[in-house]
Amino acid sequence: MPAIGTLLARAFDHHQTGGFEQAESLYRHVLESDPASTEALHRYGLLIAQLGRLEDSDALLARTLVLEPADAEAAVNHAKILRALRRPDRAARRFRHALVLSPALLAAQEGLGHAERDRGDAPAAAGAYARAALLGAGAALLHQWGISLDGLGRPQDAVTALRRSALLDPTVPSVAARLAAILYRLGCNDEAAWWYRRMLVLQPGHADARRALDVIAGRVVGHGVGPTRA
């Protein structure tokens, strides 16, 4: 019989190339020989999550972490499965577990923000998103941070986060729309008009943006100033 390392390598190759049945057979074979193989448990858990068997994946990843509680990557992956199962309390605890092991792990900090949002804890979500932003989060995370800050009654901070998001990815209509709406509430009509026009470039048929521009039109001279840098 091939060594376990060889079987795992073959299983992973099948897994990566879409040979899921072969990969599952090999992972199961490894676990029959070595039920405590955390690498096999972890990878098999990820495979069956891809196949939609989330409850089984939860059990395998939980077993992985019983055997190897210092595996930060497994902790993040388990937390993601728990979020997919709509168990945000457990997911948040597991993301925190990962952060104890690796405080600078961006995936864990970002995931904690999502889990706290799922739990309905907006301040905790905003705090986690802020820490993720310091770690170098991308445009999508900055967008979520801006939404959280706005929900907490911190529109100026929300604008700063959303401008950063738009700078990283200027192609997202919802970022432009939210920036425009917040700026309008703040009385920054020139810049709000600019972002509504940007929204219409990205999504020409957006009726709400056109209506908002009509409302602003009587108060804005010209075509609006460009976005202010964060």
Rounded-to-integer distance, Cα 42 and Cα 46, Å: 6
Domain annotation covers residue 44: no
Any idea what the CATH number is for the domain that residue 162 is in? 1.25.40.10
In angstroms and rounded to an integer, the radius of gyration of the C-alpha atoms of the chain is 23
- Residue 117 inside a domain? The answer is no
DSSP 171: T
Establish if 8 belongs to a structural domain: no
Burial of 21: CB neighbours in 10 Å, binned 0-12, 13-18, 19+:
exposed
Taking CA atoms, 76 is separated from 92, 103, 109, 142, in Å, by: 10, 12, 10, 20
**Residue carrying structure tokens 């509504």:** 196
Does residue 2 belong to any structural domain of this protein?
no
Supply the range of the domain harboring residue 157.
139-230
Angle, vertex CA 195, rays to CA 194 and CA 199, nearest 5: 120
Sign of the alpha-carbon torsion through 156, 162, 166, 172: negative
Segment 89-117, tens digit of pLDDT = 999 999 999 999 999 999 999 999 999 99
**pTM score, whole prediction:** 0.84
Residue 17 lies in a domain: no
CA dist 134 and 181 (Å) reads 26
Determine, yes or no, domain membership for 31.
no
**Strands (DSSP E) found in the chain:** none
Q: How many domains does the chain have?
A: 1
Each residue's pLDDT tens digit, 211-223 = 899 888 865 444 4
**Under a CB-based contact definition with an 8 Å cutoff, are residues 133 and 152 in contact?**
no
Look at residue 143 and tell me if it is in a domain: yes
So what's the pLDDT on residue 12?
Answer: 87
Contacts of 98 (CB under 8 A, 6+ apart): 72, 75, 76, 79, 105, 107, 108, 111
Q: Can you spell out the DSSP letters for 23-75?
A: HHHHHHHHHHH-TT-HHHHHHHHHHHHHTT-HHHHHHHHHHHHHH-TT-HHHH
In a domain, 22, yes or no: no
The answer to whether the beta carbons of residues 75 and 53 sit under 8 Å apart is no
The pLDDT of residue 219 is 57
Q: What is the pLDDT of residue 2?
A: 64
Show pLDDT as tens, one digit a residue, over the chain (230 residues): 468 888 889 988 999 889 999 999 999 999 999 999 999 999 999 999 999 999 999 999 999 999 999 999 999 999 999 999 999 999 999 999 999 999 999 999 999 999 999 999 999 999 999 999 999 989 999 999 999 999 999 999 999 999 999 999 999 999 999 999 999 999 999 999 999 999 999 999 888 888 899 888 865 444 444 555 44
